[in-house]
Amino acid sequence: MMIIKSDSDIRLMRKAGEIAGGALRAAGEAIRPGMSTKELDRVVESYIRSHGARPSFKGYGGFPASACISINNVVIHGIPSDQILLKEGDIVSVDVGAYIGGFHGDTANTFPVGKVSPEAMQLIEVTRASLMEAHKLLKNGVRLGDIGHCIESYVQQYGYSPVKDFVGHGIGRALHEDPNVPNFGRAGHGLRLPKGATVAIEPMINEGTDRVIVSNEDGWTVTTADGKLSAHYEHTFYIDETCGHILTLVD
């Protein structure tokens, strides 16, 4: 069941979103070749805790870290490690959640590590743009099918594929609430989002096939089935009468 938020709920969610967004920005500023993904995770956790919040992901379903850090062909849920080092030319997706005042904020970004190939940079830019195109649709009564269709049709112009096995979600007092928010769909179909809905929209866009593989070793790490690159962007949004407000945006 979708949970509609009050004005006071949104004020609290905005605080959680600002902290998550700030932690993501801190991660982006820290990224450099030779850095371990565990070191990057420590940057995220330090920022979140120093602002009075706690990492939403740490311990969630047994996840062992504060951020999901996913490199190149890892789509989502990469587990930070001292043994995994960022290299010049990598792209790295950082997914961050912060919990404070009873509410969560959830956001992600894909960063270039040093100088990357034009192909990798295009994937990053198109993935981000697909989220911003979906943002333009948000208002009271928007259908989930319209959001998904917008993202899917936008990235397909470039030969890319939205992941279908994992989707965005409602968010609030729980990190994952109803409804699911796919990055694909049929225009004019699907549940309508009313004023007061809060959702995390998160395009996960693959350079090649949409098929993915979940690691049998750790049960978390999701990779592209063809080994090609993947990028990931996410914001938490609040829907009002005329538009969608980004709660995880940092000025």
Q: What is the pLDDT along the chain (251 residues), one digit of tens a residue?
A: 899 999 999 999 999 999 999 999 999 999 999 999 999 999 999 999 999 999 999 999 999 999 999 999 999 999 999 999 999 999 999 999 999 999 999 999 999 999 999 999 999 999 999 999 999 999 999 999 999 999 999 999 999 999 999 999 999 999 999 999 999 999 999 999 999 999 999 999 999 999 999 999 999 999 999 999 999 999 999 999 999 999 999 87
Distance CA(116)–CA(232), nearest Å, equals 16
Query: Phi and psi at residue 183, in whole multiples of 5°?
Result: -95, 25
Q: Buried b / exposed e across 110-141, counting CB within 10 Å, b at 16+?
A: bbbbeebeeebeebbebbbbbbebbbebbebe
Please report the pLDDT score of residue 157 as a whole number: 98
Residue spans of the domains in the chain: they are 7-246
- Residues 120, 92: Cα–Cα separation, whole Å: 11
User: How many Å apart are CA 24 and CA 22, to the nearest integer?
Assistant: 5
Q: What pLDDT sits at residue 145?
A: 98
- Whether the CB-CB separation of 185 and 149 falls below 8 Å is answered with yes
Question: Mapping DSSP to helix (H, G, I), strand (E, B) and coil, where does residue 74 land?
Answer: strand
Q: Is the peptide bond before 203 cis (omega within 30 degrees of 0)?
A: no
| pLDDT confidence of residue 250 | 82
Q: Are 70 and 206 in contact (CB under 8 A)?
A: no
Sign of the Cα torsion 53, 66, 119, 211 reads negative
Q: What are phi and psi of 95, to 5 degrees?
A: -115, 125
Sign of CA dihedral 147, 20, 126, 60: negative
Q: Could you give the angle at which helices 144-156 and 118-137 cross, rounded to 10 degrees?
A: 150
Architecture of the 7-246 domain = Alpha-Beta Complex (3.90)
Q: Can you list the alpha helix ranges (DSSP code H) found in the chain?
A: 7-30, 37-50, 118-137, 144-156
